[in-house]
């Protein structure tokens, strides 16, 4: 079940490279270069140094004593990716890919972003490595994540607000791909999640696998359960991949929005169907004609109708269990963690916390759960404030 380099770019039947012909030479060049540096000692050394000195690795594993006591079940540990430079796991991948781009002699970097975390992490990596960054962001997302737009601009990146389609992450990816088709020679497309045509899902997983590798080292014994949130699925695959061949129960949490029985969610693994989008075959949210559905999530970072092909594979192999939690449950979890531990999680990460709370109650006190806290929640406080103002029920909790 553990696939090193996917044959023909496929994890089982999932993945591949469904791309316009103009991108074929670029994808081939990327694959060749990536496979070459993948085992290059100097590249590893340079990236390792940056991850330590610049990004702040390794991140701690924190035993959430108060949260555990409040819930009263299994011990909950948090993998603190929120403490990384930039406030999220995204920097693990952007440093790796920006370094690769530099080695390939590319000077112009483009990227998409949902909540803005990948855009910020790209802008940071590019500033530090002397590269020019342009970021595509859905217009709706630029409104709900204004602060991140300004952060990117401060860091020297140019931000393009995308007004086509649903004006969110999927449209930002469409527009980045159109830019890449137009400027294929000069430009490196720095994709932020474990999605897209091969070799992106492989590359992003490799760069994020540092999360799971550290978890394995830091925990005295293999945890009984490991949980991470899944949008495109980069922090999740980074957490899961090194643990696939252990006996840990692995759970990925999708954005259930207003409920997976409504149309307002972003949970393709829970309620989607196989299809082709953004260069990959995977589970997608789509209507019966194959049009991609508009998604909903309280967290912009999970608001995506597809999912990385390796997750689709791990679901079908029954190695990873994928569940969804609702916006309401996410807000509850956000408030509980904030109050008990003094840690404000990103709304994306709060999805994983919500599920940990659910299952820890049913587990023994001697058992352990590791939750990847993929990012910090400063960017989300306005959304939470607005949500609480509208939902009196939750407001009583503070």
Partner 1 sequence: MSRIKEKFNQLKSKKETALISYIMAGYPSEKITLAAVRGLIQGGSDIIELGFPFSDPIADGPTIQMASTESLNNGTKIENFFTIVKKIRKESNIPLVLMTYTNILYNQTYLKFISRAKQAGIDGLILPDMAIEESKEYVKAAKKIGMDTIFLVSPNTEKDRLKQIIKSTSGFLYMVAVFGTTGVQTKIHKYTLDALKNTKYAAKGKIPVGVGFGVSTEKDVQKYVSSGADAVIVGSANIKIIENTPTNKVQTRIATFTKRLKNKTR
Give the residue numbers annotated as catalytic, written as ranges: 90, 112, 374
* Residue 104 in contact with partner 1, rule: CB under 8 A: no
As a whole number of angstroms, the longest Cα–Cα distance in the chain is 57
- Check binding of 182 to partner 1 (CB under 8 A): yes
Question: In terms of CB distance, is 171 or 329 closer to partner 1?
Answer: 171
Write b or e for each residue in 91-101: b if 16 or more Cβ atoms lie within 10 A of its Cβ, otherwise e.
bbbbbbbbbbb
Residue 200 tokens read as 């992106």
* Binder among 237, 255, 292, 320 for partner 1 (CB under 8 A): 292
Instruction: Give CB contacts under 8 A, 24+ apart, made by 139-142.
Output: 139/163, 139/167, 140/166, 140/167, 140/168, 141/113, 141/114, 141/115, 141/116, 141/167, 141/168, 141/169, 141/172, 141/300, 141/303
Strand partners, 220: none
Given candidates 42, 247, 291, 318, which one binds partner 1 under the rule CB under 8 A?
291
- Residues 286 and 272 sit within 8 Å (Cβ to Cβ): yes
- Kindly indicate which of the ranges 134-142, 223-231, 283-291, 337-345 contains the residues binding partner 1, using the contact rule CB under 8 A: 283-291
11, 3 in Cβ contact below 8 A?
Answer: yes
Among 274, 319, 339, 358, binds partner 1 (CB under 8 A): 274
The CA distance from 54 to 47, in Å, is 10
Work out how close the CB of 102 gets to partner 1 at its nearest, in angstroms, rounded to a whole number: 22
Tokens of 138: 């859905």
Q: Is 392 in the site for partner 1 (CB under 8 A)?
A: no
Q: Which is nearer to partner 1, 2 or 273 (CB)?
A: 273
Asked if 199 touches partner 1 (CB under 8 A), the answer is no
CB contact at 8 A, 143 and 174: no
Q: Does 351 bind partner 1 (CB under 8 A)?
A: no
Of 50-58, 107-115, 170-178, 336-344, the segment contacting partner 1 by CB under 8 A is 170-178
Query: Is the Cβ of residue 64 or residue 169 nearer to partner 1 in the bound state?
Result: 169
342 binds partner 1 (CB under 8 A): no
Of 12, 56, 58, 165, the one binding partner 1 by CB under 8 A: 165
Is 178 a binder of partner 1 (CB under 8 A)? yes
H or E, element range at 187: strand 187-189
**Backbone angles phi and psi of 197, in degrees to 5:** -70, 150
d(CA 250, CA 228): 9
Spell out, one character per residue from 16 to 35, where the chain touches partner 1: x when CB under 8 A holds, - when not.
Answer: xxxxxxx-xx----------
Binding segment for partner 1 among 52-60, 104-112, 173-181, 222-230 (CB under 8 A)?
Answer: 173-181
Q: Which is nearer to partner 1, 89 or 167 (CB)?
A: 167
DSSP state of 299: S
- Site residues for partner 1 per CB under 8 A: 8-9, 16-22, 24-25, 164-165, 170-171, 174, 177-178, 181-185, 273-279, 281, 284, 286, 288-292
């Amino acid at each position: 079940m553990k696939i090193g380099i996917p044959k023909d770019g496929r994890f089982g039947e999932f993945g591949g490279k469904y791309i316009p012909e103009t991108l074929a030479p670029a994808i081939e060049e990327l694959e060749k270069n990536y496979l070459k540096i993948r085992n290059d000692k100097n590249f590893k050394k340079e990236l390792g140094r940056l991850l330590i000195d610049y990004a702040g690795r390794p991140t701690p594993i924190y035993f959430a004593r108060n949260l555990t006591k409040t819930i009263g079940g299994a011990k909950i540990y948090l993998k603190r990716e929120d403490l990384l430079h930039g406030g999220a796991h995204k920097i693990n991948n952007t440093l790796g890919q920006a370094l690769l781009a530099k080695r390939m002699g590319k000077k112009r970097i483009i990227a998409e972003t949902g909540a803005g975390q990948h855009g910020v992490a790209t802008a940071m990596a590019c500033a530090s490595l002397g590269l020019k960054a342009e970021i595509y962001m859905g217009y709706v997302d630029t409104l709900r994540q204004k602060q991140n737009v300004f952060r990117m601009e401060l860091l020297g990146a140019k931000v393009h607000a995308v007004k086509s389609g649903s004006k969110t992450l999927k449209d930002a990816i469409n527009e980045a791909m159109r830019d890449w088709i137009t400027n294929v020679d000069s430009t490196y497309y720095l994709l932020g999640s474990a999605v897209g045509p091969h070799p992106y899902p492989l590359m992003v997983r490799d760069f994020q696998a540092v999360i799971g590798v550290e978890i394995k080292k830091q925990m005295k014994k293999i945890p009984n359960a490991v949980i991470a949130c899944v949008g495109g699925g980069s922090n999740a695959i980074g957490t899961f991949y090194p643990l696939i061949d252990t006996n840990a129960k692995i759970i990925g949490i999708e954005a259930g929005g207003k409920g997976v029985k409504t149309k307002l969610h972003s949970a393709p693994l829970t309620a989607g169907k196989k299809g082709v989008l953004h260069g990959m075959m995977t589970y997608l949210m789509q209507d019966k004609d194959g049009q991609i559905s508009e998604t909903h999530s309280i967290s912009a970072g999970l608001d995506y109708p597809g999912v990385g092909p390796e997750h689709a594979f791990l679901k079908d192999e029954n190695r990873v269990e994928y569940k969804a939690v609702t916006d309401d449950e996410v807000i509850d979890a956000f408030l509980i963690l904030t109050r008990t531990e003094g840690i404000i999680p990103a709304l994306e990460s709060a999805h994983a916390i919500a599920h940990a709370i659910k299952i820890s109650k049913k587990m023994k006190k001697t058992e352990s759960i590791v939750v990847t806290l993929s990012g910090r929640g400063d960017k989300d406080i306005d959304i939470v404030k607005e949500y609480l103002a509208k939902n009196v029920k939750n407001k009583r909790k503070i």
